[in-house]
Chain A
């Protein structure tokens, strides 16, 4: 395609993105109350040292074998704890478990049911109930548009639920005033997921541990069609803020999403702004100094040059929770060897071949 076409495209797009009017944060949900975007809305993070520890929780999963009617996944959940830039060992294990989701037919419907197998018996208590991660295939919370959900999507939900459960049990290793940072928002979406969040919230409140969540990505908008975090960034640039800052953009008051939503910039040399959520009651109970303590702890953790402005604890948790491609092959091999040992390879293969054509096609193209 010609350069001229590209130029015309860019010029057209530029006209569509108009920053003259940043608008307001826009949320479809009436339970979310936005705050206006104004220059005086920025709060500079004052460097307030405290003894608060910061714990980061993340999970990871990968499918090992799959067919239209079953999916086997390897799941991991991990927590890393930091105090003033140093790693703290609290004796929390990295939890590993297999999840197997299979289709069943009853009441004239296809259900996706899941059972979980912990990697070690000591991990059992960190796992969600299998029945909680079993769904009607046309459950709206898992559907793909109007289509039935893919079974592997359902299979990966177990990991998400495990993160909440794991986090609520991990709180015992933290002290009052410490901060828990979940990877992603503190919003649930799947059926029954809210119960797990509730347990976590209650446990956090009980222990005085501040429950928060930080998202790498955000699909929030303003009333003028701009990305919300982009608009806040523009505002910050206009007033030339050189330090770390936070900007409360909205307050969400629903049961499954009871948070204060902030836009945060956690390192002055970074250009990235993230969505940071703090449990609403906890946020409101903190005075300004305490809020700065919380954010200072986060800022301290966001100084790593590999990704300035993003908490290193989340990079670390992701690295330990991630299931790498090398591991997929290894564990797949173990699973298949067990199938073979059972003498059921033929049976399993019949169903796996049903979606295997894609990988063959990909190989042909490559």
Chain B
């Protein structure tokens, strides 16, 4: 009997805040340790191992330390790109780790007769055959699925695992109906295990031809609304799958390395001063020491501005009371007197994506590649590039140059400028 661990959406480097960053790393470390303890035969990470293609090197360093431990224990780590840790225009941390032999990318493909032929990676110890397709931004990986040679994959014998990093339409939770997903029909049928990623909600599913489709959810919190969900009690962790020629057992292994407290407050019917006062009173009654605190304020103030509720002060007070970390969600808060643009989407990434989609149509360009879905994708990539901070030992000039080069590459203009 063999075992493998399936995890995804670890998003190392997502958090800047030291407490969360530490917890994030701790969660990863715990997961790796547990894998070693349980003597799993291999680990499969189905995307978004890191939060960005080129994350903070400190984070990478720490992660690498643990990965080497795992490697020493003889446990290979198989990986596919996610939507976050993939960089089309540059080498990402995944590539480096793969080159170093610490992890192994399992997406091996060839183009034959207009079709994408995926080759299996066979785990030498267990004989398990792994194949997968990495993610692309905005769900653009669907283009590859359309020309995927499913037949050759379906006809392969043996114990097979298909790794992917996409939302599947059939398993989308209702609240994520706007999310870009793929129909499961894109995936080859008949695999023993479908190792999903990208969806930050744990789930085990089954449909005809797809006996076991598993989304582990994030290991820690990922980002955005994940923290709130986790604090509210959602279980985070990874899966341990026991198998021989078929799956024998699937078990969820929870990682819980903090205590959390969620508190929701509705300001409806109050003005800003009243709300601020009452809110503070409510908070005073909470036991916050050593906990990650998620505060959600919603409703419409009858008068005053939303900024009258001094959230910085609230945070500071909670930290004084030794809360581990305070996260305030005020996306549902509004004031009758002052309204702001409403953008649906509770986390930055979704908000960004929605804004781009909503506004791409109003951008007047003559190039078709800059319009529609493609345009949104390029804009998103450019944002990602421009968001990158200066690397250690990189001068401002070098940073600027790198920004320009990567930007040109994204726009497909690199060669043109180089020729000049």
* Direct A–B contact in complex, judged by CB atoms less than 8 Å apart: no
Interface of B with A (CB < 8 Å)?
none
Interface of A with B (CB < 8 Å)?
none
